Chain A
Amino acid sequence: MSDLFAFKGAEGAGYAQPDPISDEFDFPASLKREKLPRWPRASEPEIVRHYTWLSTRSHGIDSGFYPLGSCTMKHNPRVNERIVQMPGMNDIHALAPASHLQGMMAIFHEMQEMLEHCAGMDTVTLQPVAGAQGEFTAMRCIQEYHRDIGESHRNKVIVPDSAHGTNPASAAMCGYEIIEIPSLENGQLDLDALRAVVGDDTAAMMITNPSTLGIFEPEIAEAAKIVHDAGGQMYYDGANFNAILGKTNPGLMGFDAVHYNLHKTFSQPHGGGGPGAGPIGVKAHLADYLPAPLVVAEEDEEGEVWFDWYDPPKSIGKVQQWHGNAGATVRAWAYYRRYGRELETMSEHAVLNANYLRHRIMNPPSETLANIHAMPTDGAPAEVVKHEFTLSMTPVKDSTGVTGKDVAKRLLDFGYMAPTLYFPMIVPECLMFEPTETESKEAIDQFADDFLTILTEDPEIVKTAPHDTPVKRVDEVWAARNLILRHPMDE
C-alpha cells in the first residue's frame, strides 16, 4: 500500500525550482499564511512510483473490454494526446488577440461546421464543457427565445421516464418544472402520454434517440410534430449519437437543438470522470441566443482566410468563462479527421458489435444453456438494437437470488468493466451493454462466453463477487454514514 501522506522527506524536499527574481514584496501581517499545508515531502522517484502503483489499481479501456452502456467507451487514439501537448496548445491564452489563436480558431471553425453537418443543425457552439452543461446551455437558449417572442409562460419541460438524469436536472436548473411521462410497455415513447401533457405551457421536450434502451424511436417525427404543434421545442440529448452518424440526424427527426458528447462520439478520453466537452447545435431560430463567442471565417480580397470571434446578438452570455474545453475540441478534431466521411462506417460497426453481442448472449450454445440457472430477458423487445442494449436480470434473481449487481461485480473478476447497472430505471434489474465499434469479434465472443459462464456458476460465488480485484466488494453505505472525505493526518 502506498500512502501519499506517508512521504516524510526533509523540510524543503520536493520539486526543485529556480529562485525568485526578487524578494521586494511584503504582505500585511493579517494576510500572511502562518502554517503551510501538510502536503507530502517527496522526491520525484517516490511520486512516480506512487502514481504508477495507483494506476495499476485502476481500469481503463486500455486495460480491457469496457461495455459501459450510454458512455461509449471506445478506444482513444494516442496521437490526440500527442497533439494537445504540442507547442501552440498547452500555453495559449483565451484572452490573447485573435491573431495569436488563428490555428486553434481554424480547428474550432472546422469542428463547428462538421458538427452542424453531422446533426443537421444550423449553428454550433463549442463552449459547453460537458454533456450536462450542453443541455443546460440549450435550455437557457430556448428559455431566452421564449421570453423574446413573448412566450415566457412556457415553464414546463417534458422528459420520458427513460431519460438520463442530467436531462431533468439541467432543465430544473434553468427554473423549469419537469413533467415525466411513462414509456410504453415495450420501452418506446408513449405518444398518447405525450399528447396528454403538451400544451401552451410546454417549453420543450428532451429526449435521446436511440433511446436509453438502445432502440430507435419509430414515432420520433410524430413526437416532434406534437411538441411543435403545441409551440414547444425539441431537444436532442446526443449521448447516443454514436449509433446514427450518416444514417439519420436530429435535424431530420425534427429537433431544434442538440448536444454532442465529444468524450463519447469523438473519443475525448473520459479521464476517470472528465474532462468532456458538450458542444450544442441549434436551428437558425435559436442561433442568436447561443453563448458568446462563436468562430467565424472571413476571406479577404487575396483569398486569405481570417478567423474572428463573433458574439450572437441576443447571446445568453457565458456558461464557462473561456472558450470551453479547447483541448477536447482539438482531440475530437484529430479523431474526426481519422475517419472523415467514414464516420458512417464507425456508426455501422458500433451497431454491428452491439447486435452481435446481444445475439451471442441471448443464444447460448445448447451445452452451456443446459447449465444456465436462468436466462436474462431483453430489456426491450426489438428485431435490431442500435449501439447498445439492455437486459433484465430478474429471471436470474428469481431463480438463484443473484442480482444484476452481483453479475456486474462478478464480471470484474474476469477483467471486464461492468455494464451500466440499474439504468434505465424502467427495466428491472437492468444491465446495459455498449461494446462500441473498437472491440474485435474475438473480444466480444470471449465476453459473451464469460458472461454466460457466470450464469452457470454457483450463486454463492457470484453473490460474494468480486474475488480477484484489488479490493473485495466495497461498503458504500459505511462510506456515506462515516464521511471520511480526507486524510486524517496525525490527528
Chain B
Amino acid sequence: MTGGSVKPPRRGGCGDIVVDQLPNLGREQEMLSAMGMSSMDDLFSDIPEGVRRVEPLDLPAPQTEEEILREARMLLGANISLDSRPSFLGAGLYSNFVPTMVPMLATRGEFLTAYTPYQPEVSQGMLQAMWEFQTMVSELVALPVSNVSMYDASTAAAEALTCAVRVHDRKATQKSTIYVSELVPPHRMSVIENYTQGAEIFIHKLPHGVDGLLDLEAAASAEGACAVYVEQPNAFGLLDEGLVQLKSLIGENTALIVGVQPVSLGLIAPPGDYGADIVVGEGQPFGIGPTAGGPIYGLFACRDAYIRQMPGRIVGLSMDSDGERAFTLTLSTREQHIRRHRATSNICSNETLIALMGAMHMALLGPEGLEKLARRNAGACAATKSAVLALEGVEAVHPEGVHFNEFAIRLEKPAAELLDFLDHECDITGGFDLSQWWPERENELLICATDQIDIEDIEELAEGIQDWQEGYE
C-alpha cells in the first residue's frame, strides 16, 4: 500500500459497501483531519520498518451474510448428527433435548454480548442468574458452594485436584500426592496430568476389580494423601456402592472428589451426602447439545473449607449504598487479575453463557422434572441393555453391574468392525470402541442410551448387531 492517501471505501458491484460491520468506512478522512492526520498509514507509523508486513493478507474477498450462511449450511450439512439416526455414542458427552426457550432467551443480547460482570451496578441480571445457578448446582450435588463454571469436566477435575493439594498438603502424610481412579478416561487423565505436573504432584492410580468396581482395600491406602478422585457413574456407566464408604476410609484430611453425570443425580444420591468434599462433572446435559465437545461447561462445587483455594468466578449476595439487595463477583483476591502468579488458577474467561443455559434448563425442569429425566435415561439404558444382552455372541463385561446411561459389552470380534457395519450398512452410530481408550479391550463396545433413545432405535440396534454376526458366522 502506498502512503499518503485514504483507500477508497470497499464497494461491491452494485455500489454497496462490502463490509457491513464498519460504521466509519468511507468516512475516514473526516476523522483523520480532525486529528491533523492525512492518511490511515499515519496511524501505523509507529510500527518499525523491520517488522512491518509487506504483502497484504492472502485471504479471500469478503462475503455477505447470505453467502456465508449458504456455505455453512453445506459444510455443517456434511456432518452426521446424533439426532439424525439411532445413536448410542456417549462416553462423556450425552445426546439430550434442550427446551426451545433456552437458546432463545440465552441469546438475548444483554446476556450474549456482555463481558464478565466487573461493574455489578449494570450487571445485576447475569449476576443473579449465576447466583441462582450456584444455588441449583449446590442443591443438586448437596454441597454448599458452586462456582460459575469451569471449561469442562476434565479441567474441573484437574483444578479440583490442585485445589485439594493446596488445602491439604500441610497436614498430609503423603505429601503432594493424589490418587486417581484408573478408570478415568485417558483424555481426561491427560488433562489432569498437564494441570498437576507444574506443582510436582504425584499421581497414584486406584485399581478396580473385574467387576469394574473400586478396590476399597487399595483405596484405603490413600489415607494421608491430599485427594482421591473417582467417578460415579464410572467410565463403564457403573454405579459403585463402595464409593459411599470411601470417605470414611480415607479420612478427614484427604479430599474426596467425585465426578458425576449430573442427570443421574435425579435418582442417585448426591456425593455431598456420602462425604464428597468436591464434586465436578460435565454440565453439558443441562443446557446444550454435545456440540463436538465445546462450548460446554464444567461443574465445580465444594465444601466451605475449599472456598479460598477454589478456581473460577463466584457470585455473592451483597447490598447497594441504599441497603437494597444486590449481587457482585466476590473472592476475587484468589484470581489472576489481582493475585497474578500466586492466583489459585489462571482461569479468566469461563463458560458463563453455557452455565446460564444450564440454569434455564434446570429451572424449567424443576425437581420432579429432573427425576423424570433421570428415569428416562435409566429406562433407556435398561431397555437397551436387556435387548442387546439377549443376543447370541454378546456378553456383558460387568454382568452384575448396575448401570446408568451406558454399559460395556464383549463381542467375538473387534468392536471397530461392528461399529463400521452399523455405520455403513444400518445408519446407526453404535457406541464407543473401548480399545480407543484401552487397547487390550479390542472386542469391547460401550453402548450409551440417553433420554433421546426410543424403542425403535433399540430394535434397530439389536437387528444390526445380529445381522453383523450372521455376516461373519
Q: Which of B25, B126, B290 contacts A91 (CB 8 A)?
A: B290
Query: CB of B176 within 8 A of chain A?
Result: no
Q: Is the CB of A75 within 8 A of B21?
A: yes
Query: CB of A303 within 8 A of chain B?
Result: no
B326 shortest CB reach to chain A, Å? 4
Asked whether A24 and B383 contact (CB < 8 A) given A18-B376, A318-B187, A409-B121, the answer is yes
B residues in contact with A478, CB < 8 Å:
318-319
Interface set, chain A 105-132, CB cutoff 8 A to B: 106-107, 114, 117-118, 129-132
Query: CB of A281 within 8 A of chain B?
Result: no
Query: CB of A342 within 8 A of chain B?
Result: yes
What mask results when residues 94 to 118 of chain B are scored 1 for a CB within 8 Å of chain A, else 0?
A: 0100010101010111111111111
Q: Which of A11, A384, A475 contacts B42 (CB 8 A)?
A: A384
What mask results when residues 122 to 135 of chain B are scored 1 for a CB within 8 Å of chain A, else 0?
A: 11111011111011
Q: Which of B84, B289, B367 contacts A36 (CB 8 A)?
A: B367
Query: CB of A150 within 8 A of chain B?
Result: no
Interface set, chain B 38-89, CB cutoff 8 A to A: 40, 42-48, 50-53, 56-65, 67-69, 71-84, 87, 89
Q: Is the CB of A322 within 8 A of B194?
A: no
What mask results when residues 187 to 199 of chain B are scored 1 for a CB within 8 Å of chain A, else 0?
A: 1101101110111
B203 shortest CB reach to chain A, Å? 13
Chain A CB count within 10 A is highest, among B117, B200, B321, for B321
Q: Is the CB of A485 within 8 A of B366?
A: no
Query: CB of B352 within 8 A of chain A?
Result: yes
A residues in contact with B419, CB < 8 Å:
97
Query: CB of A181 within 8 A of chain B?
Result: no
Query: CB of A196 within 8 A of chain B?
Result: no
B residues in contact with A153, CB < 8 Å:
none
Q: Is the CB of A169 within 8 A of B31?
A: no
Q: Which residue of B lies closest to A41 (CB)?
A: B366
B residues in contact with A173, CB < 8 Å:
195, 198-199, 345-346
Cα A28 to Cα B232 in complex, Å, equals: 14
Q: Is the CB of A274 within 8 A of B350?
A: yes
A residues in contact with B293, CB < 8 Å:
93-94, 320-324, 326
Of the stretches A42-50, A371-379, A389-397, A453-461, the one at the interface is: A42-50
A residues in contact with B56, CB < 8 Å:
246, 341, 344
Cα A328 to Cα B317 in complex, Å, equals: 31
Asked whether A33 and B268 contact (CB < 8 A) given A246-B53, A440-B24, the answer is yes
A residues in contact with B454, CB < 8 Å:
21
Asked whether A221 and B76 contact (CB < 8 A) given A129-B294, A480-B316, the answer is no
Asked whether A269 and B145 contact (CB < 8 A) given A102-B78, A318-B154, the answer is no
Q: Is the CB of A474 within 8 A of B328?
A: yes
Q: Is the CB of A25 within 8 A of B71?
A: no
Q: Is the CB of B318 within 8 A of A340?
A: no
Of the stretches A60-68, A197-205, A227-235, the one at the interface is: A60-68
B residues in contact with A269, CB < 8 Å:
112-113, 353
Q: Is the CB of B115 within 8 A of A178?
A: no
B residues in contact with A218, CB < 8 Å:
46, 48
Asked whether A37 and B21 contact (CB < 8 A) given A252-B52, A476-B330, A485-B315, the answer is no
Query: CB of B270 within 8 A of chain A?
Result: yes
Of the stretches B204-212, B218-226, B334-342, the one at the interface is: B334-342
Q: Is the CB of B268 within 8 A of A132?
A: no
Cα A39 to Cα B239 in complex, Å, equals: 24
A386 shortest CB reach to chain B, Å? 8
Which bracket fits the contact residues of A? 35 or more
A384 shortest CB reach to chain B, Å? 6
Q: Is the CB of B369 within 8 A of A471?
A: no
Q: Which residue of B lies closest to A84 (CB)?
A: B291
Q: Which residue of B lies closest to A36 (CB)?
A: B367
Q: Is the CB of A87 within 8 A of B81?
A: yes
Tell me what chain A mostly uses at the interface: helix, strand, loop, or mixed.
loop
Cα A247 to Cα B47 in complex, Å, equals: 8
Interface set, chain B 152-202, CB cutoff 8 A to A: 152-155, 185, 187-188, 190-191, 193-195, 197-200
Q: Is the CB of B115 within 8 A of A87?
A: no
Q: Which residue of B lies closest to A250 (CB)?
A: B51
Q: Which residue of A lies closest to B31 (CB)?
A: A356
Query: CB of B151 within 8 A of chain A?
Result: yes
B residues in contact with A464, CB < 8 Å:
321
Q: Is the CB of A273 within 8 A of B116?
A: yes
Of the stretches B136-144, B249-257, B391-399, the one at the interface is: B136-144
What mask results when residues 179 to 222 of chain A are scored 1 for a CB within 8 Å of chain B, else 0?
A: 00000000000000000000000000000000000011010110
A residues in contact with B381, CB < 8 Å:
25
Q: Is the CB of B22 within 8 A of A272?
A: no
Asked whether A479 and B336 contact (CB < 8 A) given A33-B270, A252-B52, the answer is no
Q: Is the CB of A86 within 8 A of B365?
A: no
Interface set, chain A 475-491, CB cutoff 8 A to B: 475-476, 478-480, 482-487
Q: Which residue of A lies closest to B456 (CB)?
A: A21
Q: Which residue of B lies closest to A133 (CB)?
A: B151
Q: Is the CB of B451 within 8 A of A17?
A: yes
Cα A167 to Cα B105 in complex, Å, equals: 35
Cα A31 to Cα B91 in complex, Å, equals: 22
B residues in contact with A304, CB < 8 Å:
none
Cα A353 to Cα B21 in complex, Å, equals: 14
A223 shortest CB reach to chain B, Å? 11
Query: CB of B413 within 8 A of chain A?
Result: no
Asked whether A92 and B364 contact (CB < 8 A) given A175-B197, A321-B152, A466-B121, the answer is no
Query: CB of B368 within 8 A of chain A?
Result: yes
B residues in contact with A56, CB < 8 Å:
110, 125
Cα A306 to Cα B44 in complex, Å, equals: 41
B residues in contact with A89, CB < 8 Å:
76, 79, 291-292
Q: Which of B68, B296, B380 contacts A334 (CB 8 A)?
A: B68
Contact sample, A vs B, 17 pairs, CB 8 Å cutoff: A14-B364, A23-B379, A31-B269, A58-B123, A59-B122, A66-B113, A82-B69, A93-B82, A99-B423, A130-B350, A175-B197, A252-B51, A271-B352, A275-B350, A338-B65, A409-B121, A412-B119
Nearest first, the 4 A-B pairs at minimum CB distance are A322-B293, A271-B353, A62-B109, A14-B366
